[in-house]
Amino acid sequence: MPFISGDNILATLAVILFLAWFGFWADKTRLGKVTSGVVWIITIGILLSNLSITPYKSAIYDFIGQYIVSAAIPLLLLKADLRKVFRDSGRVMLPLVIAGAGVITGVLLGYFLLNLGEIGPKVAGVYTAGYIGGAMNFVAVAKSVNMSPAEFSAAISASSIVSVIGLMVLVAIPSIKLIQRLIPSDIMAQAETSSTEQEQGAVIEMNLLHLSGALALSFGICTAASLLADTLGLGQYNILFITLLTIAVANIFPRQLHLLKGEFELGMLFMYIFFAMVGLSTNMTTFLDHAIILLVYGLLIITVQFIVVLTMAKLLKIDLAEAITGSGAAIVGPAVTAAVVSSKGWNSMITPAVMTGIFGYVIANFIGVALTALLAG
């Protein structure tokens, strides 16, 4: 039993908020600028839970995963300019397609190299869907290919660890000097200039009227989007409706929303809280007991994906920030990728991250089921 029990909501929330604070603090240090505070949030969270200090499961985790992450999306997109989206998101679509091709390459390579047993075709399809789309696609394809509860448990426990590792690598890659030299990025250069200017003089104004209004608007958008999705029988695509409704509001009232202050930073706080929850809820023991071979398989898949994306980015002269955004939209989905790019200061990549990630949601189920049928046939 952990030192802090799962029903001790206040203590668990205190740890989560401390980790979020630590992440913001780490981002200001020399070490944090190399590895990103997000990596430290997740790493320390994993250590705390696996050393039995904090629980793996808690009602506060469920609340964060279901509501806080959803509310963060409108906060990060309330100033989205559709004209800029249509002009710029197309450049991220190519890296997403390349990332998908990298996932399929890794899936096939691992399938023929590793002894996965009878579960092989099912895992191949499920992992393909999960790493092109997201957890929603993982579950949907698992049901479609009749994966048993035991098989699903082993696959999901391994995949959760792989996703965390993939997220850490995703965050770390832009800080590697060699990669920066091989794959230049104007977006990263502009973010560094903007960050420097902000640190030198700009102060983010805290306006309670604006923050409370932004929160009310964000949760209102989430409520309306959820109602619309459920009415249409598309509740699993709730994030799509949240994104579309947010962009509609942002473009109907662009001048009014442009005056908002602090909503983006609040969205960032929500995302750092989510990263803390990811680390604290990761159970290394469950994974080590049941899914070693599936971990190796998953790691091989994301390794091949990263290699393919970075190689093609070099050959096709794709901006490194755009390549990372497309890769992340595939591996960890739109919401998390939006948090990653916003934590890097790549504000122009937030909306493309969400839009391309949703496109991954749409196509992943079909690709996963088709791949399972191909390998099983």
Residue-wise pLDDT for 17-43, tens only, equals: 999 999 989 878 876 655 667 778 888
For 296-322, the DSSP string reads HHHHHHHHHHHHHHHHHHHHHT--HHH
Q: Which residue has the higher pLDDT, 216 or 278?
A: 216
CB 226 within 8 A of CB 241: yes
Domain assignments of the chain as residue spans, ordered by start: 81-197+206-256+284-376
Residue 338 has a pLDDT of 85
Residues in the chain: 377
317: CB partners within 8 A, 6+ apart: none
Average pLDDT over residues 114-123: 91
Element (H, E) at 288: helix 284-290
d(CA 301, CA 235): 29
Predicted TM-score of the model (pTM): 0.68
CB 46 within 8 A of CB 164: yes
CB 365 within 8 A of CB 129: yes
Average pLDDT along the chain: 86
Residue 289 has a pLDDT of 60
